[in-house]
Amino acid sequence: MPEPLTSPLGRLRLGVNIDHVATVRNARGGAYPDPARAALMAEVAGADGITAHLREDRRHITDRDIEALMECLNVPLNFEMAATDEMQVIALRHTPHAVCIVPEKREERTTEGGLDVAREENKLAHFIAPLRDAGCRVSIFIAADKRQIEAAARIGAPVVELHTGAYCDAHAEGRSSDRTAEFERLREMSVFAHSLGLEVHAGHGLTYDCVKPIANFPEVMELNIGHFLIGEAIFVGLGPAMAKMRTLMDEARA
C-alpha cells in the first residue's frame, strides 16, 4: 500500500473568503447581509481562517468590515490587499494574522493574475518588511511560475499563494489539455516553492468539481475559497457548503 498522502507540514487548512457577502450587501447599500456574521458562521462551521480583500475602490469589503472582523474573529484573519501605501497603513493599524499581497486593477472583475514580484522585487521587499516586522505573516499571490516563486523567496515572504484561476477556468470550460497543463504547472511549482522553504497556499475559482486535485498536493497547506462557497450557501447554507468542501479536501488528502 502506498503511504498515505499527508502534508509534510500538517493538515490542509480551509480559509473562507467572505468578500461576496459584502458584494450582496453593497448591492443595496445597507447593512445586510453582514460579512462579519458570515465570518462567525464560517468560524463555527470549522473555517481555519477568514479572508477578506479590502480593495482600493471598496467595492465589497469596507474599512468598517475589517475593524469588525478584527474585533469578532477567533480564527486568523487573512487580509488581502494591494501593495499601496494606503493599504500598508491600514494593515499596520490592525496587524492581522496574515496579509496577502495581490495585484489589483480597478477595471477587473476579480483578481486576474498573480503579482509580478520578479519585476517589482525591490519595491515589494521594502513594502513587506514593515508588515513582517509588525508580526503579520506575509503571503504573495502569484502565478505558478518559477521566476515569481524565486523572487517571492528572495524578498523574504514566508508564504506564497498560487493562483488556481487558470486551472479552474480550463476545468469549467472543458479545455482538457489546458487543464492538464495548468494542473501540472501547479503541481510542479508547489513542490518547487516548498523546496525553497516557502509555505504554499492556493486559491481562486475553486469549486467542488475542481478542488480535489489541488487539495491532493501535499505541499499545499491552505486553500482560500470564496465565491463558490458563498454562492452555494444561498442554496444549502454556509455550514453545509463548507462541510462538503471540507469532506472533498479531506478525501483528496486521505
Residues of this chain that bind ligand PXP (CB under 6 A): 17, 19, 53, 80, 100, 102, 110-111, 141, 161, 203-206, 224-228
Q: How far apart are CA 142 and CA 30, in angstroms?
A: 34
Nearer to ligand PXP, 1 or 79 (CB): 79
Angle in degrees, 0-180, between the axes of helices 35-44 and 238-253, rounded to the nearest 10: 50
**For ligand PXP, which is the closer residue by CB, 35 or 203?**
203
Nearer to ligand PXP, 102 or 149 (CB): 102
Which one of the listed residues 20, 94, 194, 204 is annotated catalytic? 204
43 is annotated as an active-site residue:
no
The three three-digit cell numbers of residue 46, written as one number: 470549522
**Closest CB to ligand PXP among 19 and 219?**
19
The alpha-helical segments, DSSP class H, found in 58-174 are 63-72, 85-94, 121-133, 146-154, 165-172
Cell numbers given for 144: 505558478
53 catalytic? Reply is yes
Shortest distance (Å) from residue 134 CB to ligand PXP:
20
CA distance 240 to 45: 8
CB of 2 to ligand PXP, least distance (A): 30
Known catalytic residue at 204? yes
Q: Which of 60, 80, 104, 199 is catalytic?
A: 80
* CA–CA gap between residue 208 and residue 247 (Å, rounded): 10
Which residues are known catalytic residues?
Answer: 53, 80, 204
